[in-house]
Amino acid sequence: MVSFSRSVLDGLQGRFWAKVNRSEGLGPNGDCWEWTGSLNKTGYGQMSSRRGSPPYKAHRIGYALYYGDFDHALDVCHRCDNPKCVRPEHLFLGSHAENMADMKRKKRARKIGNFGEVNGSAKLTREQVHEALRRRREGESQTQVAARFGVHRTTIGMIERGINWRHLTKS
């Protein structure tokens, strides 16, 4: 793993803090400092040290700026479970195994067998899925049902096709 040299950190510091929103009320507990710059496909902040170089994860940069360089074989974990958060007090070091155990303990793990409401990404409850399917059978459009439950219409379509909530919809 690559460590941050002092010159890299010094070069990133101004650009980094310019992309951090320290407003109150952000994040799950209302006290996160959220990254406003580029996000990777899993929702973590990212930035490059120079044009054309691979990006670093923003929370790793934030940790290093505040606490100093660290063993890059370790994960920088979030106490707040907010991938956009870069607040130093919300970050801690742990092995990958410890990070995965923390995620599982908080019921955020995505894995086979983790379906329905226990999936950390679930937006609907079992009862809401049954209600949505009933409404579709009675003729409401996907758009109407989705609006009622605060999800996108493709979510309703994926439930109907058995892609999501398959354990409730398979025949």
| Distance between CA atoms of residues 129 and 151, nearest Å | 11
pLDDT tens readout for residues 91-149: 999 999 999 888 888 877 655 555 676 666 678 888 999 999 999 999 999 999 999 99
* Selected residue with higher pLDDT from 166 and 55: 55
Q: Collapsing DSSP states into helix, strand and coil, what is residue 151?
A: coil
- What is the residue type of 164? N
156, pLDDT greater than 70: yes
Residues 96 and 150 in one domain: no
Residues 93 and 22 in one domain: yes
pLDDT tens readout for residues 14-64: 899 999 999 887 877 789 999 999 998 888 999 988 787 888 899 999 999
pLDDT tens readout for residues 76-92: 999 988 899 999 999 99
DSSP letter at 162 equals: T
Joined together, the tokens standing for residue 54 give 């691979």
Q: How many domains does the chain have?
A: 2
In a domain, 1, yes or no: no
**DSSP bridge partners of 21:** 34
In a domain, 111, yes or no: no
Q: Which stretches of the chain are DSSP H helices? A: 6-18, 58-67, 96-105, 126-137, 142-149, 153-160, 166-169
| Distance between CA atoms of residues 87 and 52, nearest Å | 27
Domain containing 134: what range?
Answer: 117-169
Q: What CATH number did the domain enclosing 77 receive?
A: 3.90.75.20
* Selected residue with higher pLDDT from 1 and 49: 49
Residues 136 and 81 in one domain: no
